[in-house]
Structure 1
Amino acid sequence: MSKSSGVIAPRSEAEAFFAAHPDIDSIELIYTDMGGVPRGKRLRRHEVLAVYDSGRMMPGSITVVDITGQDTVETGLVWEDGDADRSMKPVPGTLVRTPWGGDHAAQFLTSFYELDGAPHDLDPRHVLGRVLDRFVADGLMPVLAIELEYYLVDPRRARDGSIRPARPGYSRDTPRNVEVYGLRELDDFRPFFDALYTAADGQGLPLESAISEFAPGQFELTLRHKPDGLRACDDAIMYKRLVKAVAQAHGLEATFMAKPFAEQAGSGMHIHVSVDDASGANIFASDDPEGTPALRHAIGGMIASVGDGFALFAPHANSYRRFKANSYAPVAPTWGVNNRTVSFRIPAGPPASRHVEHRACGADANPYLAAAAVLAGMHHGMTNRTDPGAAVVGNGYDRENSGGDKPPSNWFAAVDRFHASALMRDYLGDRFVDMFSIVKRVEQDNYFSVVPTLDYDWYLRNA
């Protein structure tokens, strides 16, 4: 049982919320599946207190749906199980208003439990909780911040199905220039960003600086770090939903696809991690830019495990289009100080802020599962005092072919490696690794069963 993720919000939390917001009468119960997709139910006000008292029944098959929401019957957890119900129970601190849904709307996150009260072992939130329990047992607590890049695109596709960056309301021209860190690009979508900040403040999400990223229509806003790994990932889940909903309300589409445009930068999810001891002191803090031995051992574990966890860092077919040299998407298990060409970066900053930034994940990854794999590698490295080798100085992309255990280069190899990983099985659980692998292999079969237009362009006449 995960102690870290097993805390359930009390009834008093919902009672206080409804007392403060007597107009609320449309509340979405949200569960985050393996693919990171929010699923659930929309409830009336009078139904919600019962969820806080005893949970809400939902079929267990929701834990093994694929990215399209289809049951994965190959897991044996659908018909063989009778598609039996389990219980959704509320996550503390997540019952908040959703202004994009109107004046009477709200939402809350849930975790999945067995009927006997045990955390369901396939719930991504509980998978992360089990990894956090390893740190807690050692008197430690990871501190996380999650950065997400995304594109604003035109919700109307072209006739050939392609997409294009969103256009500002005053213009008929599609943006074409990169304009990294451009302020005009933020001004162009000011109504969207103003609404985003207002809604984030209303939901208690620690949303901070915004930048125009390395492609037209690409942006990144930062979430302040949290000394609670679960809550940091809850924030990321709520933030992604917030971005998509506010964009839709402004006639835009926000996408966290890893590589929506072949010729432009991909979108990453950067996970910043430090580790506090029982007194709240950062055990990575040091005057040395490379940090303490504990930080270097943590990086050593991340390097040793990145290939094993890559199916969680890059979970979809599109994910692998992002990894190209000189693209700010890392392609080798490298680390360095103040260097964005490596996979594991120690950012510049004061000694007390010393931490590591994991740069391998795509923005399409499930934050709970990606963080679980990152922290599993860190804990393994710290426990075994794993040496990361020398830090890279200069262009880390030059090290792409310099040897070492490179991450898998394609979706099939990544899932195979994940399925065979003793380390991932140790930290995430055998059944989770097996079920995730089955879901992904079925997705692979379904994805490659479709004949794309490119096949006709290349092979119709010439084959």
Structure 2
Amino acid sequence: MDITTPSLRTACADLNGQMRGKRLPARHATQLEYSGQRMPLSVLTLDLWGADIEDSPLVHASGDADGQLRCTERGPVPMPWLPEPATLVPMWMYTDDGAPFDADPRHALARVLSRYSKQGWKVIAATELEFTLVDDSGGALDTVRSPMTGRPLTGQAINSVTALDSFAHFFDDLYDGAEAMGIQAQAAISESGLGQFEINLDHGPAMRVADDTWLFKSLVRGIARKHGMAASFMAKPFDADAGNGLHVHFSVLDDKKRNIFDNGHMTGSAVMKQAVAGCVAGMPGATLIFAPNGNSYARMTPENHAPIGASWGYENRTTAIRIPGGPPAARRIEHRSAGGDTNPYLVMAAILGTAIIGIEDGLSPPDPILGNAYGQRILKCPTSWDDAIDRFATSPRMTRVFRPRLVEMLAMVKRQEQIKTNALSANDQILSVFERV
């Protein structure tokens, strides 16, 4: 690795998508590339506040053994949000015998993608990230002030160019930072919430897009701080506003680079419908992945720009799964269930994993929804954190997507977080999640 900055950071994604790693002098870069770095396996299964899980089998049964962090193929990237130059080296976790660690979220996605590779297929994906710029200088989250006027924002500004221009310097730095990190950021739009924006990341190989999405969230938060604001990917930072989502688009190419979802028509191929069927059937069990925190469930309410059940439709944004229009060669699936507070690796693993189960099992989807999905009978998903944890822990489909250790540990992490969250006031619950997602 060619590191030109004085210091570097190593980081891997834990189950919550938080960066866990170390700071090192740049002279350690060569050793890091060839020898990796030791770190406890349990670090990837900490709760949202960074605490060990009570009675964790990784701590108590194995004596809190170390694993080995190794560099990922994503390679080192700059950290443009820091005041001094530094380099971030993305890592993932292996056990001492050289096996991928079962509770590592990036390995979970890699295992799903290997199932596509065995068919001679390659998954192409893209993400849309919604976030809210806020003022957290007081004892509660407040509406961000316009950098142009100094006054708090008022009123909705859907697709407002004026709203984007009010934060022009922030977005200029954000795009410059993304380019420096090799992240292909596309159009930014103003959303319906106060200070809420969406940025699309360009389509590409699914693992690269998951890496970029994970890195981009840190970039957004860091650039916001440089501009005297805070950025939140919380599912629902303000009760009166629409929540933040993480939408995933994907298609699948065969060994001749043909889109297997394309049948030359809007309807999409039989394989596409099998993938849709898998996503629909798997959504109740995967709800904890798409809504991992107590606050996540405030977003999942009718007529609130977020799906409340498992449904699909053509060009229908009230459904959980939308088949966008456009040229048949670009036929793809848009999965709209996940909140912005999610782990991109687990979200993509759950979506692509249930999709390939639908293909492998030859499933047929229910009829596509016509009109507003909120008023129709559809497959219900858990509507509370408690039910979502139970459903995930016992879902046969989730054990076909994720290794048992990951299912066990994520359920334990969320149970511990649930207990801690319930002991906080409503305002402190918001602040505690905001600071970490």
Q: TM-score range by the shorter chain?
A: over 0.9
Q: Is the 8 A contact 2:16 2:342 kept in 1?
A: yes
- What residue is the counterpart of 2:95 in the other structure? 114
Q: Matches of 2:86 and 2:288 in 1, distance apart?
A: 36
- What residue is the counterpart of 2:394 in the other structure? 420
Q: CA deviation at 1:442?
A: 1.3
Q: CA deviation at 1:303?
A: 0.6
- What residue is the counterpart of 2:171 in the other structure? 193
- What residue is the counterpart of 1:460 in the other structure? none
Q: Which of residues 443, 451, 462 in structure 1 aligns to 2:417?
A: 443
- What residue is the counterpart of 1:206 in the other structure? 184
- What residue is the counterpart of 2:203 in the other structure? 225
Q: Give 2:122's aligned amino acid.
A: M
Q: Which of residues 207, 215, 240 in structure 2 aligns to 1:238?
A: 215
Superposed CA offset, 1:251-270 (max 9, x none): 11000000000010000000
Q: Does residue 286 in structure 1 map to residue 260 in structure 2?
A: no
* Number of equivalenced pairs: 428
Q: CA deviation at 1:453?
A: 7.3
- What residue is the counterpart of 2:78 in the other structure? 97
What is the TM-score when the length of structure 2 is the normalising length? 0.95
- What residue is the counterpart of 2:434 in the other structure? none
Q: Is the 8 A contact 2:133 2:232 kept in 1?
A: yes
Q: Matches of 2:80 and 2:150 in 1, distance apart?
A: 29
Secondary structure of 1:78's counterpart equals helix
Q: CA deviation at 1:321?
A: 0.3
- What residue is the counterpart of 1:3 in the other structure? none
Q: Which of residues 111, 117, 139 in structure 1 aligns to 2:120?
A: 139
Q: Is the 8 A contact 1:73 1:79 kept in 2?
A: no
Q: Which of residues 335, 341, 364 in structure 2 aligns to 1:358?
A: 335
Which runs of no fewer than 5 residues in structure 2 stay unpaired? 429-437
Q: Matches of 1:76 and 1:65 in 2, distance apart?
A: 12
Q: Matches of 2:311 and 2:396 in 1, distance apart?
A: 22
Q: Give 1:304's aligned amino acid.
A: A
Q: Matches of 2:134 and 2:225 in 1, distance apart?
A: 10
Give the alignment of 1:270-419 within 5 angstroms.
Answer: 270-399=247-376, 402=377, 404-419=378-393
Q: Is the 8 A contact 1:151 1:165 kept in 2?
A: no
Secondary structure of 1:247's counterpart equals helix
Superposed CA offset, 1:355-410 (max 9, x none): 010001001110000111111110011112211122112111111xx1x4311010
Q: Does residue 169 in structure 1 map to residue 147 in structure 2?
A: yes
Secondary structure of 2:75's counterpart equals coil
- What residue is the counterpart of 1:43 in the other structure? 24
Q: Matches of 2:271 and 2:112 in 1, distance apart?
A: 18
Q: Give 2:238's aligned amino acid.
A: F
The percentage of aligned residue pairs carrying the same residue is 37
Q: Is the 8 A contact 2:354 2:401 kept in 1?
A: no
- What residue is the counterpart of 2:435 in the other structure? none
Superposed CA offset, 1:98-133 (max 9, x none): 222245311121000111211111100001111111
Q: Matches of 1:144 and 1:392 in 2, distance apart?
A: 24
Q: Matches of 1:189 and 1:234 in 2, distance apart?
A: 26
Q: Matches of 2:92 and 2:282 in 1, distance apart?
A: 27
Q: Does residue 71 in structure 1 map to residue 49 in structure 2?
A: no
- What residue is the counterpart of 1:260 in the other structure? 237
Superposed CA offset, 1:188-245 (max 9, x none): 111110001111111110101000011110000110011x211110010111011111
Q: Matches of 2:351 and 2:22 in 1, distance apart?
A: 31
Q: CA deviation at 1:341?
A: 0.8
Q: CA deviation at 1:53?
A: 0.7
Q: Matches of 2:146 and 2:133 in 1, distance apart?
A: 10
Q: Matches of 1:80 and 1:377 in 2, distance apart?
A: 32
Secondary structure of 1:101's counterpart equals coil
Q: Give 1:381's aligned amino acid.
A: G
Superposed CA offset, 1:56-100 (max 9, x none): 111121021001111113222124322221111111233122222
Distance 1:451 1:259, change over 3 A: closer
What is the TM-score when the length of structure 1 is the normalising length? 0.90
Q: Matches of 2:427 and 2:136 in 1, distance apart?
A: 21
Q: Matches of 1:100 and 1:303 in 2, distance apart?
A: 39
